[in-house]
């Protein structure tokens, strides 16, 4: 009888119940979609970082290679250090147009047009260069004399419907495609590799300017020590291993994830306040009904259960709707526009469930307490 009466009471005021459900649903949808998208971006980027081994050396203070600028002469200086096996200068830049189309940035997938300029022979000497030498069609560069040619990631080949021996226009310049690589990373598979001189000409960079160096240690187990040694030796450079960069990125993104969760939680809390308002108004409007229930033998605990059950029902329905909306946004809408997956796991669903039911309990506890402690006489008078 209690559960049937609770459902009947909620259906009696459909508009108010629906508004409360929507309040919870919007908050839960924000939690599920934003947190899962955040987890997806973090996973994609860290997966990409894991594909790049060795030590990356760039301008001190620069946040990434594209914003770094160093003199190429450092390559010889670094190569002479004890523990260094090979050094490859690199130019990193982002094309404005590919095949006449403007580049559209997609978070986590990377812009489809990151250009890496290299000396092919030096680059192939790197043990850490495997992420662009896993050729699935055509070949990699054979010598440093090969210019006006590119090796492209499989995402570039797919997006622009290109194959080996066809030409690819980058910022108005035409390059022959000699190979297609697959790295296993959605971000890296958007890269375009060309001769370093071609990259400098394409992006109007000075002759001896590079963005970074990729350094192979003689002993990979001593990568951390070598990176620290390079930092001590060259005050204008910063060397970091992929593990160090992944750790820094993880720490930074954890703060962003917490902020995202906090923002979406505020929306859910507003929904919880809506439940409290709905249940309080319901108790005030049903004082005579509560008096009748108590006069026919209902205990205060029964009234308490009735109001709390109504409140929790609102939160559970809001949870189901919110998880549905949030999952649809994260799994279907987000990948369509951003070309990367979101991650919805059991931990996130449990978080959303606990948060929603907790809001239902908190929103209903005061109205339930007020109703439970109402005497039948007071209820009859309040209903007049």
Mean pLDDT, rounded, for 214-235: 89
Residues 71 and 138 in one domain: yes
Scan for tokens 């009888």, then name that residue. Answer: 1
pLDDT category at 223 given cuts 50, 70, 90 is: confident
Number of domains in the chain: 2
Q: At what angle do helices 242-285 and 300-328 cross, to 10 degrees?
A: 140
The single-letter DSSP state of residue 340 is: S
Work out the percent of the chain whose per-residue pLDDT is above 70: 86
Residue 338 lies in a domain: yes
Residue 346 lies in a domain: yes
pLDDT category at 39 given cuts 50, 70, 90 is: confident
Domain boundary among 235, 265, 292: 235
Mean pLDDT, rounded, for 219-233: 89
Q: Give CA separation, 141 vs 123, 220, 373, in Å.
A: 10, 26, 82
Residues 193 and 336 in one domain: no
Residue 51 lies in a domain: no
Residues 255 and 335 in one domain: yes
Structural domain harbouring 324 = 2-45+249-383
Residue 151 lies in a domain: yes
Residues 258 and 188 in one domain: no
Scan for tokens 């495609």, then name that residue. Answer: 177
User: What is the reported pLDDT for 220?
Assistant: 80
Residues 270 and 231 in one domain: no
Mean pLDDT, rounded, for 309-321: 90
Q: Which span out of 75-79, 268-272, 352-356 was modeled with the highest average pLDDT?
A: 75-79
Residues 6 or more apart in contact with residue 85 via CB below 8 angstroms = 127, 216, 217, 218
Domain boundary among 235, 260, 290: 235
CB 284 within 8 A of CB 276: no
Residues 30 and 118 in one domain: no
CB 339 within 8 A of CB 106: yes
Mean pLDDT, rounded, for 150-159: 92
pLDDT in tens, 158-203: 989 999 999 999 999 999 999 999 887 777 888 999 999 999 999 9
What's the chain's average pLDDT?
83
pLDDT in tens, 351-363: 889 988 888 888 8
Residues 376 and 254 in one domain: yes
Residue 55 lies in a domain: no
User: What is the reported pLDDT for 51?
Assistant: 62
Q: Please give the Cα distance from 3 to 1 (Å, whole number).
A: 6
* Higher per-residue pLDDT: 68 or 54: 68
pLDDT category at 377 given cuts 50, 70, 90 is: low
Residue 318 lies in a domain: yes
- Could you tell me the pTM of the whole model? 0.65
Q: Give CA separation, 209 vs 64, 68, 158, 194, in Å.
A: 16, 10, 32, 16
Residues 304 and 183 in one domain: no
Residues 79 and 206 in one domain: yes
Residue closest to 347 by CA, chosen among 35, 100, 21: 35
Residue 342 lies in a domain: yes
Q: Please give the Cα distance from 210 to 68 (Å, whole number).
A: 8
Residues 187 and 82 in one domain: yes
* Higher per-residue pLDDT: 124 or 356: 356
Residues 16 and 134 in one domain: no
Residues 41 and 169 in one domain: no
Residue closest to 352 by CA, chosen among 331, 330, 322, 317: 322
Residue 244 lies in a domain: no
Mean pLDDT, rounded, for 115-141: 81
Mean pLDDT, rounded, for 19-40: 87
Residue 256 has pLDDT above 80, yes or no: no
Residue 105 has pLDDT above 70, yes or no: no
Domain boundary among 178, 213, 235: 235
The single-letter DSSP state of residue 103 is: P
- Region of poorest pLDDT, from 55-69, 212-226, 234-248, 347-361: 234-248
The DSSP result for 188-239, as a single string, is GGGEEEEEHHHHHHHTT--TTEESEEEEEESSGGGHHHHHHHHHHH-TTEEE
* Higher per-residue pLDDT: 377 or 91: 91
Given phi > 0 = left and psi -120 to 50 = alpha, else beta, which region is 47?
Answer: alpha
């Amino acid at each position: 009888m209690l559960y049937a009466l609770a459902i009947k009471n909620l259906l009696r005021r459909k508009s108010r119940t629906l508004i409360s459900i929507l309040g919870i649903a919007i908050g839960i949808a924000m939690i599920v979609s934003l947190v899962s998208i955040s987890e997806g971006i973090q996973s994609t980027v860290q997966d990409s970082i894991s594909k790049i081994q060795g030590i990356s050396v760039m301008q001190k203070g620069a946040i990434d290679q594209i914003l770094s600028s160093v003199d190429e002469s450092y390559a010889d200086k670094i190569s002479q250090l004890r523990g260094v096996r090979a050094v490859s200068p690199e130019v990193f830049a982002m094309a404005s147009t590919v095949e006449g189309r403007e580049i559209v940035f997609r978070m986590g997938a990377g812009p489809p047009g990151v250009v890496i300029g290299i000396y092919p022979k030096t680059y192939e000497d790197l043990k850490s260069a495997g992420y662009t030498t896993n050729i699935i069609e055509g070949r990699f560069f054979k010598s440093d004399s090969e210019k006006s040619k590119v090796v492209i990631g499989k995402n570039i080949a797919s997006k622009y419907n290109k194959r080996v021996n066809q030409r690819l226009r980058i910022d108005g310049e035409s390059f022959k495609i000699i190979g297609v690589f697959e790295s296993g990373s959605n971000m890296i598979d958007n890269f375009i590799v060309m001769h370093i001189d071609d990259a400098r000409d394409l992006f109007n960079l000075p002759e001896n300017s590079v963005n970074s160096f990729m350094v192979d240690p003689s002993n990979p187990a001593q990568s951390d020590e070598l990176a620290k040694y390079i930092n001590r030796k060259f005050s204008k450079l910063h060397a970091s291993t992929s593990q160090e960069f992944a750790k820094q990125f993880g720490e930074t993104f954890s703060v962003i994830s917490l902020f995202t969760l906090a923002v979406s939680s505020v929306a859910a809390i507003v929904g919880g306040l809506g439940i409290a308002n709905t249940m309080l108004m319901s108790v005030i409007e049903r004082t005579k009904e509560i008096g009748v229930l108590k006069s026919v033998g209902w205990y205060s605990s029964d009234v308490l259960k009735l109001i709390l059950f109504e409140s929790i029902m609102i939160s559970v329905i809001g949870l189901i709707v919110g998880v549905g909306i949030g999952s649809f946004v994260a799994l279907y809408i987000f990948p369509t526009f951003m070309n990367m997956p979101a991650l919805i796991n059991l931990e996130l669903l449990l978080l959303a469930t606990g948060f929603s039911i907790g809001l239902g309990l908190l929103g209903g506890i005061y109205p339930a307490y007020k109703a439970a402690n109402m005497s039948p006489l007071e209820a009859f008078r309040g209903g007049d």
